[in-house]
């Protein structure tokens, strides 16, 4: 039996570290708790997919993605003032507003997005809706642990099944 090679619609399991230029560890997945995803369907950054395409079990990788290939540059257009009144109500905790807190929000179309509280004014809250890693070069290194064909059900559902959770999402 020949080794499975990473390509579109393959389930990939890998361990990795993600380092920022500052030397800060931004994320990691271990051999005990690997990142498991369907390759080439948008579950990871397209440039990440491109870098690991063609690898197989046991292969190691090490590469850096520019901010443009990662989460883009930080944009002042994503820093907005929101009326403080939307953070008041019976279903809103009194202590929700704290500088640096990341809050789950929705845009005008109801799409979920996270915003970080930058400033709390008397009537407004300034929030940053840039991705937390926007503007950062991303240094990935790791090892491919497993490569297999995705099942039809996984492809239909758009995510990997198993790992004790039918809706596994890393």
Q: Compute the distance between CA of residue 120 and CA of residue 16 in angstroms, rounded to an integer.
A: 37
Mean pLDDT of the chain: 89
Domains 10-71+134-157 and 76-128 share a fold: no
Residues 6 or more apart whose CB falls under 8 angstroms from that of 38 comprise 9, 10, 11, 12, 150, 154, 155, 158, 159, 160
For the whole prediction, is pTM greater than 0.85?
no
What per-residue confidence (pLDDT) applies to 163? Answer: 53
For residues 56-62, give the mean pLDDT: 97
Overall fold of domain 10-71+134-157: Chitinase A; domain 3 (3.10.50)
Q: Compute the distance between CA of residue 163 and CA of residue 37 in angstroms, rounded to an integer.
A: 12
The pLDDT tens digits for 94-151 are 678 889 989 988 888 888 889 999 999 999 999 999 999 999 999 999 999 999 999 9
What per-residue confidence (pLDDT) applies to 2? Answer: 59
| β strands within the chain, DSSP E | 10-20, 25-29, 35-38, 60-65, 79-83, 102-106, 112-120, 124-128, 138-149
What single DSSP character describes residue 119? E
On the question of pLDDT at 51 being above 80, the answer is yes
Q: Compute the distance between CA of residue 122 and CA of residue 84 in angstroms, rounded to an integer.
A: 8
What per-residue confidence (pLDDT) applies to 87? Answer: 84
76-128 maps to which CATH number?
Answer: 2.40.10.330
For residues 149-166, give the mean pLDDT: 78
Percent of the chain with pLDDT over 70: 93
* Contact by Cβ (8 Å): 121, 102: no
Greatest alpha-carbon pair distance for the chain in Å reads 67
Task: List the domain boundaries for the chain.
Answer: 10-71+134-157, 76-128
Higher pLDDT, 110 or 92: 110
* Contact by Cβ (8 Å): 49, 7: no
């Amino acid at each position: 039996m020949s080794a499975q090679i990473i390509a579109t619609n393959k389930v990939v399991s890998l361990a990795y570290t993600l380092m920022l230029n500052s030397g800060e560890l931004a994320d990691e997945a271990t051999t005990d708790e690997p990142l498991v995803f369907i390759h080439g369907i948008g579950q990871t950054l397209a440039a990440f997919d491109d870098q690991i395409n063609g690898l197989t079990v046991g292969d190691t990788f090490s590469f850096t993605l520019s901010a443009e290939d990662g989460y883009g540059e930080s944009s002042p257009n994503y820093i907005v003032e929101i009326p403080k009144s939307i953070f008041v109500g019976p279903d809103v905790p009194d202590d929700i507003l704290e500088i640096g807190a990341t809050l789950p929000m929705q845009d005008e179309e109801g799409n979920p997005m996270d915003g970080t509280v930058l400033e709390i004014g008397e009537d407004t809250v300034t929030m940053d809706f840039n991705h937390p890693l926007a503007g950062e070069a991303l240094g990935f290194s790791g090892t491919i642990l497993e490569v297999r064909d995705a099942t039809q059900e996984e492809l239909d559902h758009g995510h990997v099944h198993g790992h004790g959770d039918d809706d596994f999402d890393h």
